[in-house]
Structure 1
């Protein structure tokens, strides 16, 4: 199987933005568009199909206000338990597709400066369902993360709380390809009220 095989995109966008005073991160705007639109669009532009968006808090409002027509929506009723449940929901939805993909590129909705270039680089690391890769920033692992389908069950079993795939990736670091993206992306999260002003400016304003 080659890098041209089907690799889906998964956007984790279920959080409530509790530390942002309850402002749902998916609907925060950057460059005039909701973050969930930017992230899902970047995954599509990077060659991922289909693109799944995992929603939880504010799901109805997000579907009303964001343009996600080309995406498959996955609702995570257990979103309050942490990101791990959203990752499990996304991977389960991929496995349930009539034609499950050979891999998935997983991105976070609250990293607006991780765009198409970084996603395409990590997507290009796909070789087979055994592939495992992640973006690197100065040698430190970050997002997006590429999971070959052989890893879906193991990642889902290890994803608990807010840890996502972290424990699984650490346990399999000898098989992990780190794809340096620090020259094209900034892996900063939007987590605190002070971070909101950065959305109106370029990454250099972070």
Structure 2
């Protein structure tokens, strides 16, 4: 069985949320970070949370979460450089943990949970890159073999994350339809969060 690590990118400041940071937002009483960690575990992977903005308070909040372990998180010292810095930190830490495959998810997509992650992992083949597809649009999770994740991290700039590598190697990308298993909406504004809190079941 392959050792799969799910890298959860959660280092940003959440400027469109007034700088409060998405990692500390709560949905039905559970922080988005705790929800993402739970989903990664339920999918049978090892979670790896990449923190930056307000890392201390995020860790303090997670101390109350079931299954939380300090080794499940790593700090990105240069998180202000954008998503690429968090991605590089996560991939490097995943390699140190012996990952054979790296799944990448965003903490601000709470509608992408364990079932979607399992489906994309199951659809990933040797030498390929698998991406979630919801209602015809590519989204997360993105699953790489470790070497490909490291190559993608080396090309990452600014807030683009793995995008330059994915665009340069589009012929290697397999879209795995997770429509019905996931919703790809980002939590970018207070209105987004309110809509989610009002519409999602407690799960």
TM-score w.r.t. length of structure 1: 0.90
Q: Distance in 2 between matches of 1:70 and 1:142?
A: 28
Alignment of 1:179-194 (within 5 A): 179-194=176-191
Secondary structure of the 1:60 match is helix
Q: Distance in 2 between matches of 1:189 and 1:19?
A: 12
Tell me how far 1:116 sits from its aligned partner.
1.3
Q: Distance in 2 between matches of 1:178 and 1:148?
A: 16
Q: Distance in 2 between matches of 1:125 and 1:101?
A: 18
Tell me how far 1:104 sits from its aligned partner.
0.9
Q: Distance in 1 between matches of 2:196 and 2:24?
A: 12
Instruction: Extract structure 1 runs of 4+ deviating beyond 6 A.
Output: none
Tell me how far 1:8 sits from its aligned partner.
0.8
Secondary structure of the 1:124 match is helix
Q: Which runs of 5+ in 1 are unaligned?
A: none
1:52 partnered with 2:48:
yes
TM-score w.r.t. length of structure 2: 0.91
* Counterpart residue number, 1:81: 81
Secondary structure of the 2:123 match is coil
Tell me how far 1:70 sits from its aligned partner.
6.9
What RMSD over aligned residues (CA atoms) do the two structures have, in Å?
Answer: 1.6
Tell me how far 1:93 sits from its aligned partner.
0.9
1:106-152 residue CA offsets vs partner (Å, 9 max, x unmatched): 11000111111111101112344x23101011232100110111202
Tell me how far 1:6 sits from its aligned partner.
1.1
1:94 partnered with 2:94:
yes
Instruction: Report the number of matched residues.
Output: 197
* Counterpart residue number, 2:103: 105
Q: Distance in 2 between matches of 1:115 and 1:202?
A: 16
Q: Which runs of 5+ in 2 are unaligned?
A: none
Alignment of 1:31-180 (within 5 A): 31-49=28-46, 51-66=47-62, 67=65, 68-69=68-69, 72-97=72-97, 100-128=98-126, 130-180=127-177
Q: Distance in 2 between matches of 1:31 and 1:71?
A: 25
Q: Distance in 2 between matches of 1:47 and 1:91?
A: 18
Asked if the contact 1:12/1:55 (under 8 Å) is kept, the reply is yes
Q: Which moved more, 1:192-201 or 1:145-154?
A: 192-201
Q: Distance in 2 between matches of 1:24 and 1:37?
A: 14
Q: Distance in 2 between matches of 1:31 and 1:104?
A: 28
